[in-house]
Structure 1
Amino acid sequence: MFRPFAAALALLATPALAREADRPPAPRVPPKLIVAIAVDQLSADVFAEYRQHFTGGLKRLQNGVVFPSGYQSHAATETCPGHSTILTGSRPARTGIIANDWVDLTTARADKTIYCSEDETVPGSSSSNYTVSPLHLKVPTLGERMKAAVPATRVVAVAGKDRAAVMMSGRGADQAWWWGGKGFVSYLGREMPAAVTRANAAVAAQIARPQPAMALPDFCHSRNVAVPVGTAGKTVGTGRFERAAGEAVKFRASPEFDAAIVTLATQMRADMKLGEGATTDLLIVGASASDYVGHTYGTEGTEMCLQLFALDRTLGKMFDDLDRTGIDYSVVLTADHGGHDLPERHRMHGITEAARVDAEFRAARIGEPIARKLGIAGQLLWGGSFGDMWVDPKVTGAKRKRALAEIERALTAHPQVQAVLTRAAILATPSPSGPPETWTLLQRARASYFDGRSGDFVVALKPRITPISDGSRGSTSTHGSFWDYDRRVPILFWRKGMTGFEQPMSVETVDILPTIAATIGLNVPPGEIDGRCLDLDAGPGSTCPAN
């Protein structure tokens, strides 16, 4: 299934442009297969930077309907909330997925952190050693709605992260598989199909082989600049994904990882004959490598350039394989969030306000002097250096009122903080509507806020402040802010025979579900979701139902 990576790239190098049929499918005929692809951390900025160089699968999708300014419109621009919007039509305030993890100080277990895709009621579990579950997702996904309408529908998800597979497929998927560190895994008790057995053997063999450095395409040479990070001699920006035999962590943060994910998805489709039955099936692909590359090396440099170069060809190979089946399929591709490059490279390019967050600015440390002053025992304030922060619920009455006021003053006084939003202010804000780029910070926070799960405060750092205090160990850059570099993502729709066009106005990822639902005749009551149908007809007609 997997060749040595250099050889695989050579085979993928043939451009996979759209093969337009002489006669397109009849209007309003539902496709037999929907392929929904989420490219983790594919920001609208990175897409715009590289789109001129695509010659494979991403080039094909640009021949369809392109929304270059899609929005993960909420404030919590992390992986789990972002994936929860893509195939539910709902923002995190409705899905309940407010972050990758959150604090629940009322839980009886010692670990007060709850992971978004876990069942924390499992005895002995923690947020880092958990049982995967869709327990916390509060709304149905597209796949759930399709199966409810037509039980014969098959829904299959393959992703690099459990939260990507779970949040996009929801409950009742026929198959859901994600990378478990040493191979693809699924829910407890799920029998491993032959395609996964083959994939795991192929991946193990791939990792066991050393990987030579990738050749650098001409358009990547300008990104080949070393950027020092920290004081320990670490640099990024010139990597080419070479690795020694057995380096599984480097495998994950490389184009090899997406090749494994997409190949398994293609094999699962073939083995299950998705799109070859009497109804429309759904294949979900969570391509996670771009996120690991972005965190490890930043959104610029040779690393991201090579990652997108390879992903373009990997997706082209997938579409070529689908073409050979003769199946009438449609594709939607987007991202769970954008990303922000490391501040060291930003400052090299003249963005002098780019900085790392103060190492002392974190919830526990901020709460300590306030707790001493008010005579409160134990940790008063929980959370990180941005986003949701929780006050100990055991602090009540007048003492709680004083603590909330003191905490708000302390947070607001920090020079790297843009805004401190209280629970009361957020809940008093109506659910936002209209162009997402015009929303206030309160409206962005409201779109992420799920009462009973979200914090007593939501903290927005100033633009271009990276919430990683030390980039010399682990991640160098990240996402998760209120700002548009983290909120904006591309949204692309493609189907053989469609007339393509580009719509530059802003739309939202929650618009994807009602748009797909319209193409397959699936009724979704508007009051159940936040999104709206996007018209994919290039002319005066409409692919959306009449109002």
Structure 2
Amino acid sequence: MKSFRPLAAAAALLAATPLAAQETPPAQTVPAEAPRAAPSLVVVISVDQFSADLFAEYRAQFSSGLARLMTGAVFPSGYQSHAATETCPGHSTILTGDHPSKTGIIANDWTDFNAPREDKTVYCAEDESVPGSTSNNYTVSDKHLKVPTLGEWMKLADPASRVVSVAGKDRAAVMMGGHKTDEIWWWNGKAFVSYAGRAEPAMVTRMNANVTKRISEAQEPLDLPPFCQARSRAFQLNPTRSAGAGRFARAAGNSTAFRASPEFDEAIVATAAGLASDMKLGQSGHTDLLIVGASATDYVGHTLGTEGSEMCLQLLSLDQTLGKLFAVLDKTGVDYAVALTADHGGHDFPERNREHAAPMAARVSKELSAKTMGLAIGQALGIKGPVLVGGNSGDVYLSPDLSKADRVRVQAEAIKRYMANPQVEAVFTRAQIAGTPIVHTPPETWTLLERARASYDPQRSGDLVIALKPRVTPIAGTEGGSIATHGSFWDYDRRVPILFWRKGMTGFEQPLSVETVDIAPTLAALIHVPVPVEIDGRCLDLDAGQGDICK
């Protein structure tokens, strides 16, 4: 397969034997009575929008990095158990051990009528108190994350432990890195950046220069291997928009197309590998943590869908890129462990779903937007001004300008109108959700209300939470940047793979459900770090024999 041209700054780091030809190191049985020392480096990878469905579809095609991880402990039915299956909430669960109801990250953004600015939308990873900021033009901050992360647990146990977080999105880097990172870098649309005042390491400087050069040059279309050819069919979504048969050809200067391509993940992973090499992570006698947020799969899924040649090329390329990362780490001789998962799943665009045996797939009606619904309610009740704030699903807020009596009237009318819409599955009130107990049962058995409870924060959640019916995509049209998305209560958005690997471990597969909140306590047990707070997750035993890493 002809791949994208390697970035110059990444070439030396990620150069290796063609990865399709590499052999996965054989597993070595470690006797249960001879427990191993803690690994000196933990690598945590989140592949944004890598659903359990995609993992199942492509796992037989992986030959490099993901193939290596599949020789370890494989949990193909992991769950982002909560209802708000978006990027920020999902990333907040991975290294905190907590659901969004405890992390406070209930959505990518929420409404705060007390925000100290005209824009009352608050982005999950911003500091809205910064003068002149908006939810789209913001200062990145970790202030909204209410709980500590694995990296903070490690530093509490050993202050010499180092935490490095690199991602394609600020919210991924921040929510997994936590409040005490040694290095944290994310892509801002033009370059890898960090918090103001942080010195830029030489590797980041080189990578930024090379990415700028790469974007300024055109990218030729990739070759389609046979497996991808079978998925190559163009869907004309509107007069100027098609998807399904792309090969990532890119015009010079198109940074948006760069971001939604395998090139982007290469830049992210190479930056992380470069920092790990330059900082000699895992080589100081203390256990370090390297966090990688691979974001391209999400951008490909949103803009091109999950079932075409584009996603096929993206996942096969990601497999190769991760293999090169592991080759870099192998060369150091460091004993490292890897955990890989995703922040949420995803759903293909309905136009293709309808031709792939899912005729019920649809786009959400514009009537369900909070603005449109609120105008109709206001007119019916004789109330001037907006009465509802929010989107077409998820959190919807009653206007704070309503009187107490009008709030009761508006809420009752909203529930009636939402429930009368054939695309709505359920409407939950704040009181209903708050009164629902937190459960710790298998996540596939949770009711919709229990899923909503796991995403509920009394200071941030809406007055109503709207659940659309299955396979209703919460994007009304195809004119914007996204044609497919996630964010529903349903398992195609909740289910993600969870993989653990360490050289020499005896691999196994456990098809029963586990949760992403289980990742942090499992890694803590693996590196012998106590969990200093009460969390929602539990330790998963990675010993395939009679031993138990959790004891």
| TM-score for the superposition, normalised by structure 2 | 0.96
Q: Could you tell me whether the CA contact under 8 Å between 1:514 and 1:531 is conserved in 2?
A: yes
CA distance in 1, matches of 2:9, 2:100: 40
Residue 541 of structure 1 is matched in structure 2 by: 547
Matched, 1:148 2:148: no
- Select between 388-397 and 31-40 the one with higher mean Cα deviation: 388-397
Residue matched to 1:137: 145
Q: Measure how far apart 1:229 and its partner are.
A: 1.2
C-alpha separation between the residues in 1 aligned to 2:29 and 2:490? 44
After superposition, where does 1:257-336 map in structure 2 within 5 Å? Answer: 257-336=264-343
Q: Does the 8 Å CA contact 2:366/2:372 hold for their aligned counterparts?
A: no
Alignment partner, residue 486 of structure 2: 479
Q: Any conservation in 1 of the 2:231–2:309 contact (CA below 8 Å)?
A: yes
8 Å Cα contact 1:77-1:481 kept in structure 2: yes
Partner residue of 2:346?
339
Is the 1:38–1:333 Cα contact (8 Å) retained in structure 2?
Answer: yes
Partner Cα distance (1:346, 1:207) in 2: 33
Structure 1 residues 465 and 517: alpha-carbon distance in aligned structure 2, compared to 1, 3 A threshold: same
Q: 1-side partners of 2:370 and 2:203: how far apart?
A: 46
Quick one: which amino acid aligns to residue 212 of structure 1? E
State whether residues 5 and 211 of structure 1, in contact with CA within 8 Å, keep that contact through their aligned partners in structure 2: no
* Structure 1 position 112, deviation (Å): 0.9
**Equivalent residues of 1:34, 1:331 under 8 A apart:** yes
User: How far does the alpha carbon of each residue in 1:119-156 deviate from its partner, in whole angstroms, 9 at most, with x for none?
Assistant: 00000000000000001000000001111111000000
Aligned residue-pair number: 543
Q: Counterpart of 1:418?
A: 425
Q: 1:115 aligns with which of 115, 123, 126?
A: 123
98-107 or 77-86, larger mean C-alpha shift: 98-107
Decide whether the 8 Å contact of 1:70 with 1:506 is kept in 2.
yes
Between 300-309 and 101-110, the greater mean CA deviation after superposition: 101-110
Secondary structure at 1:81 match in 2: helix
Post-superposition CA distance 1:46-85 (Å, at most 9, x none): 0000000000000000000000000000000000000000
Residue deviations 1:342-370 (CA, integer Å, cap 9, x gap): 00001111211000001222001111132
**SS in structure 1 at match of 2:302:** helix
Q: Which of 188, 196, 205 pairs up with 1:197?
A: 205
User: 1:161–1:318: structure 2 CA closer, same or farther, 3 Å change rule?
Assistant: same
Q: Is 1:248 the equivalent of 2:255?
A: yes
Structure 1 residue matching 2:91: 3-state secondary structure: helix
Q: Is the 8 A contact 1:420 1:460 kept in 2?
A: yes
Q: 1:291 to 1:262 in 2, by over 3 A?
A: same
**Alignment correspondent of 1:127:** 135
The AA in structure 1 aligned to 2:540 is: L
What SS does the corresponding residue of 1:360 show, helix, strand or coil? helix
**Gap change, CA 1:47 and 1:9, over 3 Å in 2:** farther
CA distance in 2, matches of 1:222, 1:6: 31
Provide the rounded CA distance (Å) in 2 between the counterparts of 1:438 and 1:9: 46
How far has the Cα of 1:228 moved from its partner?
Answer: 2.1
8 Å contact kept, 1:12–1:314: no
Paired residues for 1:198-213 under 5 Å? 198-213=206-221
The within-5 A match list for 1:492-507 is: 492-507=499-514
CA separation of 1:485/1:22 partners in 2, compared to 1, >3 Å: closer, same or farther?
Answer: closer
Whether the 8 Å CA contact 2:369–2:390 is kept in 1: the answer is yes
Tell me if structure 1 keeps the 8 A contact 2:9–2:210.
Answer: no
Which residue of the partner structure matches residue 184 of structure 1? 192
Alignment check: 8 A CA contact 1:74 1:482 kept? yes
1:19 paired residue among 25, 38, 51: 25
Deviation at 1:452, TM superposition (A): 1.4
Q: Which residue is 1:405 aligned to? A: 412
Paired residues of 2:486 and 2:493 also in contact (CA < 8 A): yes
Listed as ranges, the matches of 1:150-169 within 5 Å are 150-169=158-177
Task: Tell me the residue number matched to 2:3.
Answer: none
Shift of 1:5: 11
- The 5-angstrom pairing of residues 441-452 of structure 1 reads 441-452=448-459
Matched residue of 2:368: which SS?
Answer: coil
Structure 1 residues not aligned, in runs of 5+: none
Asked if 1:46 is matched to 2:46, the reply is no
Contact 1:64 1:499 in 2 (8 A): yes
Distance 2:11 2:126 in 1: 37
Would the aligned equivalents of 1:16 and 1:313 in 2 still touch at CA under 8 Å?
A: no
Deviations 1:186-241 (A, max 9, x none): 011111111100110111111122111111111111101111213x2422110000
Letter in 1 for 2:76: P
Q: Deviations over 1:66-112 (max 9, x none)?
A: 00000000000000000000000000000000000011122231111
Query: Matched residue of 1:271: which SS?
Result: helix
1:79 equivalent to 2:81? Answer no
After TM superposition, the structure 1 stretch with the greater mean CA deviation from structure 2, 370-379 or 238-247, is 370-379
1:528 corresponds in structure 2 to: 534
Match of 1:221 among 217, 222, 229: 229
What's the % identity of the aligned pairs?
Answer: 62
Instruction: State the Cα distance separating 1:472 from its structure 2 match.
Output: 3.8
Contact kept in structure 2, 1:15 and 1:316, CA below 8 Å: no
Instruction: Give the secondary structure class of the aligned counterpart of 1:223.
Output: coil
How far apart in 2 are the matches of 1:508 and 1:261?
26
Distance 1:384 1:16, change over 3 A: farther
3-state secondary structure, aligned to 2:223:
coil
C-alpha distance in structure 1 between counterparts of 2:36 and 2:524, whole Å: 12
1:24/1:496 contact within 8 Å kept: no
Asked if structure 2 preserves the Cα contact closer than 8 Å seen for 1:154 and 1:174, the reply is yes
Q: Deviation of residue 371 (structure 1)?
A: 2.0
Amino acid at match of 1:347: R
- Give the distance between the partners of 2:214 and 2:135, measured in 1 at CA: 30
CA distance in 1, matches of 2:214, 2:262: 13
Structure-2 residue corresponding to 1:2 = 7
Find the aligned partners of 1:355 and 1:70 in 2 and give their Cα distance. 27
Given that 1:5 and 1:256 are in contact with CA atoms closer than 8 Å, whether structure 2 keeps it comes out as no
Partners of 1:16 and 1:320 within 8 A in 2: no
Letter in 1 for 2:233: V
CA contact (8 A) 1:228 1:344 kept: no
Amino acid of the residue matched to residue 541 of structure 2?
D
Question: 2:76: which partner in 1?
Answer: 68
Match of 1:518 in 2: 525
Query: Larger deviation: 470-479 or 168-177?
Result: 470-479
